Amino acid sequence: MKKLVLFSVSVVLALSSVHAQVVPVSPFAEGVKLLNYEKNKSALAFFKEALDKNPTNTENIFWYGEAVLAEQGSGMPSDTTIKKAKAIYQQALQAAGNDPWLLVGMSHVQLLEGTDVNAVKQNLEVALTTTLLTKGKFKGKPNQDIVNAIGYIHAEMPINIGDHRYAIDKLKETISAYESMANPNLFINLGINYLKAGGENGGEAVTAFQEAISRDPKNAFPYYRTGRVYQTQSNRESFDEYYSKAIAADPTFPPVYFALYSYYADLNTQSATETAKVNLDLFLKYADKDPSLDIFNADYLFRAGQFDASLEKAKALEASIGIDALPRLGVLLAYNYDRKGDSVQAKTYIENFMSKSTAEKIVTSDYELAVRIISRFSGNQVALAALLEKAIAADTARVNKLKYYKLGYEMLEKANMYSDELKWYANYSALRGIKDEVYYYKTASIAANAKEGATTKAISMEYITAFPDKPNGYSFNVKAAKLLDTANNLGVLFEAVTLQNQFLSKDMTKNKQAMVNNFYTMMGYYNETKAYEQAIAMCDKVLELIPAEPQTLKIKESLTKNWEIIKKMQSGGSQKAATDTTQIKKG
């Protein structure tokens, strides 16, 4: 469903610093309101009827083209829809020349087609220049309606298309020029473009929406948009407040009921599901009547645990409307088949949806479902990782990027693809920005599983520095040393074990067996390097902990014999005897 933001290009303003002034109401205000209410079919019919009566009105043509682009709902319009809108604007431009309304409309189409952004901005500058006011108090100032239209088309653009900062600058310049006389819709478009420019701009967006509310308190839309911001922040108290205010401003405003339905449906509790159904019924009551909306009833049945009924309704919609016309039906069918344990059918539906949908039409839960289902089939991890990388690149919300990285590294871990997992977890951690014990433990664990000794050692030493009183850093350091010093000839293992023993010695009772194991490791190291005196000392360490331990006594006897032979050789003795090679085993 299309989320449109422009309420009217000429409305009755509630000014914050002057008395309310009555201004002419645009004849297209009702149609734009229908777009705001996401009643896109009704809006299209409204503008078409108006255009039939006056086919040369370029403002009407602009809105008619925008209604065409909105017909299929939110996100990137289909190629067919874009071509349809383009034909409308091109035909009108041939008759009316470089009319500013038509230039703005065609700019929307060009941006969707991938035209160079700077070239499109040149056309928008022409629209702005040719509509500068020529008399009165605001002589030389931009036309608010045209600036508003520029802000609107950018607000409708996917986040990765167009120049949202350009729209923000134009909106702010116009607001500054008109001050208390600025159209409240400028603030609505400003807020939405702030959000499109990056999730970190939520504060600026809310400020803009609040200004729109102060100037037009009867408009439900800015209350709703404010609530949406708070909902993305999981601030229930605040989004409840603004959704309630939107309903108070207009109880027939459909989008707010759908937002509440989605929220409560996702809670997956019985009481929340019941609340979700109430809001779904209100949404369907006030939204355009459309058979395709029955998908939400099928969705509700799934969430309510009525899986067979949900699948039956979804299959009926597939037969009557089709997945091509209703792409998200494929997602619902994937959920249903996954729930029934039919992974093959689930995979078919979710793969079809993911492959045919543009990034802005795929939500976080879709990626979660796709990874869960498709990763059950071996050999798909690389393709899924590529899919998640596209999601990360397209999404500006930090919380969503973190989810995608987490999906990626967990998937790779299950597939034992540890080297790839290490890279994904590193990216996840860099974005998370917190080096707590979980970070050090997880990174060291993955690196050790990947057999990357140098990385394991480096992160283990950081772990020990950050958490010197925690045992795991020392343990991973020993694992790293074993990966690096397989022949016991670099001294790395000796250093790691020595460092761990220093830590373990702080509680000899608790760490007795670990200490014994380490003494045996060091014993072996000294034996292989023929440092028998030190090896004997390690035997004594073990015997301090386990007096008269038979294996250790036997090893010590053998080591002592070898040490005596070495001493005789060093003192000039000529006797040549083979040293005892009794194997030192870990106790």
What pLDDT digit, counting tens, does each position of 307-344 carry? Answer: 999 999 999 999 999 999 899 999 999 999 999 999 99
Q: Would 581 be classed as within a structural domain?
A: yes
Q: Would 314 be classed as within a structural domain?
A: no
Q: What is the pLDDT of residues 120-145, one digit of tens each?
A: 999 999 999 999 999 989 999 999 99
Give the domain extent around 581: 508-587
Q: Which of 217, 237, 264 is the last residue of a domain?
A: 217
Among the ranges given (37-46, 458-467, 478-487), the one the predictor scored with the smallest mean pLDDT: 478-487
Query: Between these two residues, 21 and 9, which has the higher pLDDT value?
Result: 21
How high is the pLDDT of residue 583? 53
Q: Would 54 be classed as within a structural domain?
A: yes
Q: CA 153, CA 549: separation in Å to the nearest integer?
A: 82
Q: Would 222 be classed as within a structural domain?
A: no
Distances (CA, A) of 65 to 104, 117, 385, 512: 11, 20, 38, 79
Nearest to 7 by CA among 206, 239, 219: 219
Q: 76 CB contacts (<8 Å, ≥6 apart)?
A: 112, 158, 161, 358, 360, 361
Mean pLDDT of the chain: 89
**Does the pLDDT value for residue 573 go beyond 70?**
no
* 306: phi then psi, degrees, rounded to nearest 5: -95, 70
Distances (CA, A) of 519 to 86, 128, 478, 496: 79, 81, 13, 12
Q: Which of 154, 188, 217 is the last residue of a domain?
A: 217
**In the numeric block, which tokens belong to residue 477?**
């350091």
At 574, which amino acid appears? S
**Does the pLDDT value for residue 22 go beyond 60?**
no
Instruction: Provide the whole-model pTM.
Output: 0.72
Q: CA 11, CA 539: separation in Å to the nearest integer?
A: 92
How high is the pLDDT of residue 150? 97
How high is the pLDDT of residue 465? 97
Q: Would 140 be classed as within a structural domain?
A: yes
The residue with tokens 């089709």 is 322
The burial of 306, by beta-carbon neighbours within 10 Å (0-12 exposed, 13-18 middle, 19 or more buried), is given as: middle
Q: CA 331, CA 353: separation in Å to the nearest integer?
A: 7
Q: Which of 160, 182, 217 is the last residue of a domain?
A: 217
On the CB side of 521, how many CA atoms lie within 13 Å of its CA?
A: 25
Q: 226 CB contacts (<8 Å, ≥6 apart)?
A: 206, 209, 210, 213, 242
**Does the pLDDT value for residue 449 go beyond 90?**
yes
Number of Cβ within 10 Å of residue 138's Cβ equals 14
Q: How far is CA 171 from the centre of its chain?
A: 28
Q: What is the pLDDT of residues 201-223, one digit of tens each?
A: 999 999 999 999 999 999 999 99
Q: Would 212 be classed as within a structural domain?
A: yes
Q: How far is CA 382 from the centre of its chain?
A: 19
**In the numeric block, which tokens belong to residue 451?**
């057999």
Strand partners, 21: 13
How high is the pLDDT of residue 490? 65
Domain total of the chain: 2
Report the pLDDT averaged over residues 222-240: 94
Q: What is the pLDDT of residues 268-278, one digit of tens each?
A: 888 999 999 99
Buried (b) or exposed (e) across 550-583, using 16+ Cβ within 10 A?
eebeebbebbbebbebeeeeeeeeeeeeebeeee
How high is the pLDDT of residue 424? 97
Helix crossing, 270-286 with 294-303: angle to 10°? 180
Q: CA 512, CA 507: separation in Å to the nearest integer?
A: 8
Query: Between these two residues, 14 and 93, which has the higher pLDDT value?
Result: 93
Q: Would 489 be classed as within a structural domain?
A: no
Categorize the per-residue pLDDT at 487 as very low, low, confident or very high, splitting at 50, 70 and 90.
low
Categorize the per-residue pLDDT at 7 as very low, low, confident or very high, splitting at 50, 70 and 90.
very low
* 13: phi then psi, degrees, rounded to nearest 5: -90, 140
**Does the pLDDT value for residue 579 go beyond 60?**
no
Categorize the per-residue pLDDT at 566 as very low, low, confident or very high, splitting at 50, 70 and 90.
confident
How high is the pLDDT of residue 10? 34
Report the pLDDT averaged over residues 348-374: 91
Q: Would 442 be classed as within a structural domain?
A: no
Categorize the per-residue pLDDT at 574 as very low, low, confident or very high, splitting at 50, 70 and 90.
very low
Q: What is the CATH number of the domain that holds 153?
A: 1.25.40.10
How high is the pLDDT of residue 12? 31
Length in residues, the chain: 587
The residue with tokens 């796709």 is 370
Distance between the two ends of the chain, CA-based, in angstroms? 69
